[in-house]
Chain A
Amino acid sequence: MGQGDFVRRMDSGGAAIYGEPSQWQKVHLDLPLLLLLALLAGVGLFVLFSGSGQSNFYVEHQLINYAVGFTVMLILAQVPPRLLDRWAFLPYCGGVVLLVGVLVFGIGAKGAQRWLEIAGFRFQPSEILKAAVPLMLASYLGSHSLPPRFKHVLFALVFIAIPPVLVILQPDLGTAILIAASGFFVLFLAGLPKRYLLFAGVAATAVLPLMWYYVLHDYQRQRILTMFNPEADKLGAGWNIIQSTIAIGSGGLHGKGWMLGTQSQLDFLPESHTDFIIAVLAEEFGLFGVMLLMALYLLIIVRCIIICLRAQSMFGRLLAGSITLTFFVYVFVNMGMVSGILPVVGVPLPLVSYGGTSIVTLMLGFGMLMSVSTEKKRSI
């Protein structure tokens, strides 16, 4: 198959699928993805009402969070990928500056400095980086030939490394890992040669023990130890994990019924409306509920991958791919930590856990995905 054939096929194929631009395409939205996200938000509200102890306050505020999130998505969707590509360095550099600002002027909470207050508006600059790093990497690698050459890999790694290092200093290991992962996904999708992967694997194995002693804080080491033996500290760090596994396990196949979960309703389950909300779902709707939610997540991911494959520019493909994979990492880390196979890090269940920051950040990503989904073919 020659190059010409391929391009022609893509053109005709694209036309066959899309036909004339629909109403949704005119506003740069992917209808299936939009519907799936709305469905997920609906499920989230439903579980949140129970998980927050039938609190109208949380439900109302979460509705506002969704409204803001979807608005952000809608706005981002209107920004052409080309524009994103050109100005990708801006949020990245801005984010890094703000991260430094956090370390200097930041507001602490629970022993960690993560917040920055500008004009009475409080936010976590690390959230910006979750979107800015893949944007930057996609822009950088997408502008060169793939697979990336050694020089580009080296630069990419520097771009990836700077924000997580700053975030670790806050310290917020969970977010640092997520940021690093989102950057690494771009590198991987860009076709990072296998020998680098092998090298990275070996390096990681060598660095991990050093991380344990020099990078991790006591409480972080404690969390990891707790994962392996929650019984060791039943009322302390182990409490969350013990109670969440009890909640999940006692839910069984069918669950105890909506708002009838004893673990969550009687406050045995901590953080039942935020990070541990999946345990509420598992307790009240059972394994069926969990599988339905997982199916919903996988449908979203599959739809996103379809968008990735149809994207017209390499920048769009890399960006969309990274966003998609990061989204799944959220799901995996959250469901893994609540069920006790991963250490407890502060990762919410995407679009279900209560909290505006994570919803807006995620919708920011989906906004860029939408933008990529309706990208016109770029003239080379």
Chain B
Amino acid sequence: MNEDRAIKNPQLEYRLYAGRLLFTLLVVLIMAGVLMWRYYHLQVVRHEEFVTLSDRNRLLVEPLPPTRGLIYDRNGVLLADNRPSFNLSIVKERAGDLDALLMELDRLVGVSEAEKERFFKQLARRRRPFEAVPLRLNLNEREQGILAVNEHRLPGMEVTVQLLRYYPFADELAHVLGYVGRINDQEIQELDPVRYSGTLVVGKTGLEKYYEDELLGEVGYQTVETNARGRVMRQLDRTDPQPGKDLHLYLDSRLQHVAYESLAGERGAVVAIEVATGGVLAMASAPSFDPNEFVTGIGVDSYNTLLNSPDRPLFDRVLQGQYPPGSTVKPVFGIAALQSGTISQDFRIFDPGFYRLKGDKRKYRDWKKGGHGSQIYLSDAIIQSCDTFFYDVGVRMTVDVLSLYGTRFGLGQKTGLDMPSERAGIMPSRAWKRAAKGLAWYPGDTVNTSIGQGFTLATPMQLAVLSSRLASRGEIRPPQLVRKQENIQPPAGIIKVADSHWNYVHHAMQEVVHGLRGTAKGINKGLNYHIAGKTGTAQVIGIKQDEEYDAELVSKRNRDHALFVAFAPVENPRIAVSVIVENGEHGSSTAAPVARKLIDAYMEYYPETSIVESTHGTR
């Protein structure tokens, strides 16, 4: 110690110390410079970049989904509603262990593999962190309760409320309204990602699909400031969504109910058209299904059951069912024969029960064994549905006239109804056969065509349109479900037929129902107004030459389809109807009573009021 002190040299030591200290001061200044350079680099050089990142952090542009337009019937009855649905959503960033959370949620409320798959797909499409992604829609009250109780131990889980479609009439209107469903992968590619940014569903079928554009509305936005945990702190600006347009239909839910109920237990279709407007009063296809199941995503099992049912409940018979119209086209061909001058109203034939083309031995048989006898006028041919008469007159007219008038009355072309997926049916002609079959037209084809068999196919909607054109004396009005104008519009065209011919055919059709020998006289009991109608039978299996058709022996599925077209009241037709009952055998026994019920209901609900007034109903 002492010897150390003895050689201590304060001056040298101070110099050494001061040198070192000043050297460290230099180092300090250099390091401070490095820091300042770093802050300068972040705050000035890369400033813009960090401003963007900072805004992206805090600003969230949230789409505000528009409220889907509602659908009302002509009297303001709500047919398609929006109801709050409680959805289970997940914010991944808050979840921690996502797999564990999904497993726990599955244990609590059940989560299907399909829902998980959809969740992960949507998660992958997410635009920013902390966005809630729906896992399950439409939780019931029990599930909401379970989740509420367990919320504290399920971070990342959220129950959100969103409006979802609800169809109060369920299966009754399933084919008309269609349904909305979760947007699928293919639709994602086709839909405008901006318009659908907040929307989970899209119209899949029916009016929901056809009017998707109007019903959807316009998406709104709000810019919100969020904190680091994604919680919205305040709203910065907002553009309100524009709700979708409501649809008001010509359809009357009461008539629809009658139409659908009258087909209970059957497979078939009913259409009723308001003659003055072309508005569809009712259109039912049976059997049907509950569209509400599709809104939140139907289970695979339920869907397969519907899809594979032999009764084909998903199939809209009104627009997609194509049936041989059979005798229901006879009034049209009667008009054709008269107006084309092929025959006069005094023309008559003898019906031996069959028809033979000149130089051909083949017998074209009447449905009535032994025939209808002598003195068969056009009116008798319509009233009793005499095939032989129409074979004869049809051949005289040629297929060209048959095809011309069939087409004028709407056969072989889409009716133009405001619905997707309508089928056109077939009104055969020489040109059609050459194009479709590559074959020449044979006289035998004309014979079959003249009674609505052979190649001819029509949808129930086309037959209703045909009936309506008969009723309105040739006014061409495309059928419409959605009422766009308050006033009755002039017809799109007119089929020129002499009034006397209209009177003649209307009278004959009235006699079908009211006459002693009318094929549909079974429905005239207690009628206090006049119905004009025409029965029809469509063969399901071919009957060989001279073979007897025995309904008892033919299994139910192979029995003929029963058809009926009608309008009423005859003096001032307001409603036109078509009915088809699959395998119903005779139009008179199964299809006509359905039409009677429906027309009765119409006459009760709309006794004598003018059509314009009656269509004024709004909500």
Complex contact A309–B49 (CB within 8 A): no
CB contacts (< 8 Å) of B18 on chain A: these are 309
- Once bound together, how far apart are the Cα atoms of A7 and B18, in whole Å? 15
Task: Give B56-107 interface residues, CB cut-off 8 Å to A.
Answer: 57-58, 93
Contacts of A298 in B (CB 8 A): 28-29, 32
Residues of B within 8 A of A177 (CB): none
Does residue B31 face the partner (Cβ distance < 8 Å to A)? Answer: yes
**Is the Cβ of B43 less than 8 Å from the Cβ of A252?**
yes
Cβ of B57 and Cβ of A262 under 8 Å apart? yes
Which residue from chain A places its CB closest to the CB of B57 in the assembled complex? A268
| B549 interface contact, C-beta 8 A | no
| Interface pair A332/B35, CB less than 8 Å apart | yes
A134 at the interface (CB under 8 A from B): no
Question: How long is the Cα–Cα vector from A52 to B492 in the complex, in angstroms?
Answer: 75
CB-nearest residue of chain B relative to A302?
B25
In the assembled complex, the CB of B52 is this many whole angstroms from the nearest CB of chain A, namely: 8
Cross-chain contact A287 with B13 (CB below 8 angstroms): no
CB distance from A50 to the nearest CB of B (A): 15
| A146 adjacent to chain B (CB < 8 Å) | yes
Known: A144-B4, A249-B49. A336 touches B38 (CB 8 A): yes
Q: Give the interface segment out of B138-146, B225-233, B388-396.
A: B225-233
Is the contact region of chain A dominated by helix, strand, or loop, or is it mixed? helix
Are B54 and A145 touching (Cβ within 8 A)? no
Closest Cβ of chain A to B155, distance in Å, is 14
Which residue of B7, B36, B40, B53 contacts A145 across the interface (Cβ within 8 Å)? Answer: B7
B93: A residues at CB distance < 8 A: 235
Partner of A246, one of B5, B36, B54, B225: B54
In contact, A268 and B43 (Cβ under 8 angstroms): no
Q: Which of A266, A287, A328 contacts B28 (CB 8 A)?
A: A328
* Chain B interface, number of residues (Cβ within 8 angstroms): 49
A339 to B51 CA separation, bound complex (whole angstroms): 16
B4–A248 touching, CB < 8 Å: no
Within 8 A of B (CB), among A191-249: 191, 235, 243, 245-249
Contacts of B46 in A (CB 8 A): 249
Whether B43 lies near A146 (C-beta < 8 A) is no
Quick one: given A263-B54, A287-B43, are A191 and B4 in contact (CB under 8 Å)? Answer: no
Q: Cβ of A251: which chain B residues have Cβ within 8 Å of it?
A: 43
Bound together, the chains give a CA A297 to CA B39 distance in angstroms of 16
Bound CA span A263–B11, Å:
54
Instruction: Quote the shortest CB–CB distance from A191 to chain B (angstroms).
Output: 4
Q: Report the separation of the CA atoms of residues A341 and B1 in the bound assembly, to the nearest whole angstrom.
A: 46
**Chain B residue contacts of A245, Cβ below 8 A:** 42, 50
Across the two chains, which residue of chain A brings its CB closest to B3? A145
Number of A residues with CB within 8 Å of any CB on chain B: 55
Q: Is A190 an interface residue (CB 8 A)?
A: yes
Residues of A within 8 A of B34 (CB): 341
CB pair B233–A290 under 8 Å, yes or no, is: no
Closest B residue to A308 by CB, please name it: B21
Binary interface encoding of chain B residues 216-245 relative to chain A, with 1 for a CB under 8 A from any of its CBs, else 0 = 000000000111110001000000000000
1/0 per residue A15-59: CB within 8 Å of B?
000000000000000000000000000000000000000000000
A3 at the interface (CB under 8 A from B): yes
Q: Is the CB of A309 within 8 A of B42?
A: no
Residues of chain B lying within 8 A (CB to CB) of residue A185: 24
At the interface, yes or no: B17 with Cβ under 8 Å from chain A? yes
Most buried by B among A146, A245, A291: A146
B47 in contact with A250 (CB, 8 Å): yes
Chain B proximity mask over A260-276: 1 for CB below 8 Å, otherwise 0: 00110011100000000
Asked if B616 lies at the interface with its beta carbon under 8 angstroms from chain A, I say no
Given A143-B1, A253-B44, A298-B32, A189–B39 Cβ distance below 8 Å?
Answer: no
Query: Does residue B556 face the partner (Cβ distance < 8 Å to A)?
Result: no
Smallest Cβ distance from A345 to chain B, in angstroms?
Answer: 16
A243 to B50, CA, bound (A): 10
Q: Among A143, A245, A262, which residue has the most Cβ atoms of chain B within 10 A?
A: A262
Identify which of residues 177-223 in chain B touch chain A, using a CB-to-CB cut-off of 8 Å: none
**CB–CB A290/B7 < 8 A:** no
Given A3-B11, A143-B1, A294-B36, CB of A325 within 8 Å of CB of B50: no
Given A250-B53, A266-B233, A341-B38, verify A325-B28 contact (CB < 8 Å): yes
B10 to chain A, nearest CB (A): 8
**Bound Cα distance A252, B31 (Å):** 22
* In the complex, chain B residues whose CB is within 8 Å of the CB of A309: 18, 21
> Contact between B31 and A267 (Cβ–Cβ < 8 Å)?
no
Query: Is A121 part of the contact surface with B, judged by Cβ < 8 Å?
Result: no
Determine the residue in chain A with the shortest Cβ distance to B20: A189
Q: Which residues of B contact A332 (CB under 8 A)?
A: 31-32, 35
Q: Is B9 part of the binding interface, using a Cβ–Cβ cutoff of 8 Å?
A: yes
- How far, in angstroms, from A308 to B58 measured CA to CA in the complex? 48
Known: A266-B226, A291-B39. 19 other contacts (CB 8 A): A3-B10, A188-B20, A243-B57, A246-B50, A246-B54, A249-B51, A250-B51, A266-B57, A267-B228, A267-B229, A290-B43, A291-B36, A305-B22, A308-B21, A314-B10, A314-B13, A317-B21, A325-B28, A339-B42
Q: Which residues of B contact A (CB under 8 A)?
A: 1, 4-5, 7-14, 16-18, 20-22, 24-25, 28-29, 31-32, 34-36, 38-40, 42-44, 46-47, 49-51, 53-54, 57-58, 93, 129, 225-229, 233
Can you spell out 12 A-B residue pairs with CB atoms less than 8 angstroms apart? A188-B20, A191-B16, A191-B20, A249-B53, A263-B58, A266-B58, A268-B227, A290-B39, A294-B32, A298-B29, A321-B24, A380-B10
The 6 closest A-B pairs by CB, nearest first: A249-B50, A250-B54, A266-B227, A191-B16, A267-B228, A250-B50
